[in-house]
Amino acid sequence: MTNTRAEIREFLSSRRARVSPEQAGLPAYGGNRRVAGLRREEVAMLSGVSVDYYVRLERGNLAGASESVLDALARTLRLTEAESEYLFNLARAAGPGRIPRQRTSTTVRPAVQQILDAVSDAPAWVRNGRHDILAVNRMGRALYAPVFEDPRRPVNTTRFTYLNPAAREFWRDYDQIANDAAAMLRLEAGRTPHDPELIKLVGELSTQSEVFRQRWASRDVMHHRSGLKRLHHPVVGDLDLNYESMDLPSEPGLVMNVYTAPAGSPTADALKLLASWAATQESAVNDRQPR
């Protein structure tokens, strides 16, 4: 996505600035510190490496860093699981061998679509690491109706989030959604740094969205596995949906998302209305097809 050495430098320095001496178990020093967070020499001491070696690492030279050193850095800098994964991917990219180009799927097998269609009462879809929706069931298409108004295919939820004004009404927690989308995309950039479509997407968003530029510059990374999604649907109103994101082992890089609501809840009732509306929409489309 960017120069690997520069990315390593910015990532490590930003994570170092986030950790206070007290958090790292160091005594609190009086007076003003010239740097936010830990000093380089403190990171080196806590990680069991020389100051000179850590300075070289933070300048972008992760090539040859052992797994034990990377693990020590992750502990010292209090990295999350996603941040540790990103650090290891940066080290891999900095190595002497080029990272093989990893293909990001743009299609799914018919059997995967059959699974989605079998989930008839809950919105479900499959996406790739770029957040392209590659397959969707009827409920998923109905739920994400504003996203599917984009004529481009496949539709992309992060493009919708940053470039479509309707996103601020659709996502009731817009700021959190925007933060998460950029963080997930950066994690994918560490996994597939040479993906031309991902590079193109990040370039498009960076050019057209100041909000995205700010989020991208934070260098935050995160996984997106489960939680609560709060939407405002244009037809059925507010929805509080539980989501689960599941990797598809037979389709590396693809994730299936399923949204549900507790039985008897207002959202469960709204999903029933959504199902009725989706059936009506599908029937109208079929009536317009030539016979």
Do 142 and 266 lie in one domain? The reply is yes
Residue 16 predicted with pLDDT over 70? yes
If you average pLDDT over residues 234-259, what whole number do you get? 94
CATH assignment at residue 245: 3.30.450.180
Residues 121 and 193 in one domain: yes
Q: What CATH number did the domain enclosing 74 receive?
A: 1.10.260.40
User: 128 and 44 in one domain?
Assistant: no
Could you tell me the pLDDT band of residue 286, with boundaries at 50, 70 and 90?
A: low
Task: Please indicate, yes or no, whether residues 82 and 201 belong to a single structural domain of this protein.
Answer: no
| Residue 102 placed within a domain | no
Domain boundary (46, 65, 94) is at: 94
Residue 154 maps to a domain? yes
Q: Return the percentage of the chain with pLDDT > 90, whole number.
A: 74
Looking at the structure, do residues 167 and 40 belong to the same domain, yes or no?
Answer: no
- pLDDT, position 1: 47
pLDDT at 287: 46
The pLDDT assigned to 31 comes to: 57
What's the predicted TM-score (pTM) here? 0.87
**Top-confidence residue, 12 or 286:** 12
Of the candidate ranges 104-113, 143-152, 219-228, the one whose mean pLDDT is the lowest: 104-113
Q: Is the pLDDT reported for residue 237 higher than 50?
A: yes
Pair (126, 256) in one structural domain? yes
Q: Is residue 171 part of a domain?
A: yes
Q: Is residue 244 part of a domain?
A: yes
- At residue 262, does pLDDT exceed 60? yes
- Do residue 157 and residue 259 come from a single domain? yes
* Residues 142 and 255 grouped into a single domain: yes
pLDDT at 284 over 70: no
The whole-chain average pLDDT of the chain stands at 90
Within a domain: residue 100? no
Q: What is the pLDDT of residue 25?
A: 85
Domain total in the chain: 2
- Residue range(s) defining the domain that contains residue 79: 4-94
Between 284 and 5, name the one with better pLDDT.
5
pLDDT tier at 170 (50, 70, 90 boundaries)?
A: very high
3-state secondary structure the chain: CCCHHHHHHHHHHHHHHHCCCCCCCCCCCCCCCCCCCCCHHHHHHHHCCCHHHHHHHHCCCCCCCCHHHHHHHHHHCCCCHHHHHHHHHHHHHHCCCCCCCCCCCCCCCHHHHHHHHHCCCCCEEEECCCCEEEEECHHHHHHCHHHHCCCCCCCEHHHHHHHCCCHHHHECCHHHHHHHHHHHHHHHHHHCCCCHHHHHHHHHHHHHCHHHHHHHHCCCCCCCCEEEEEEEECCCEEEEEEEEEEECCCCCCCEEEEEECCCCCHHHHHHHHHHHHHHHHHHHHHHHCCC
Residue 2 pLDDT level (bands cut at 50, 70, 90): low
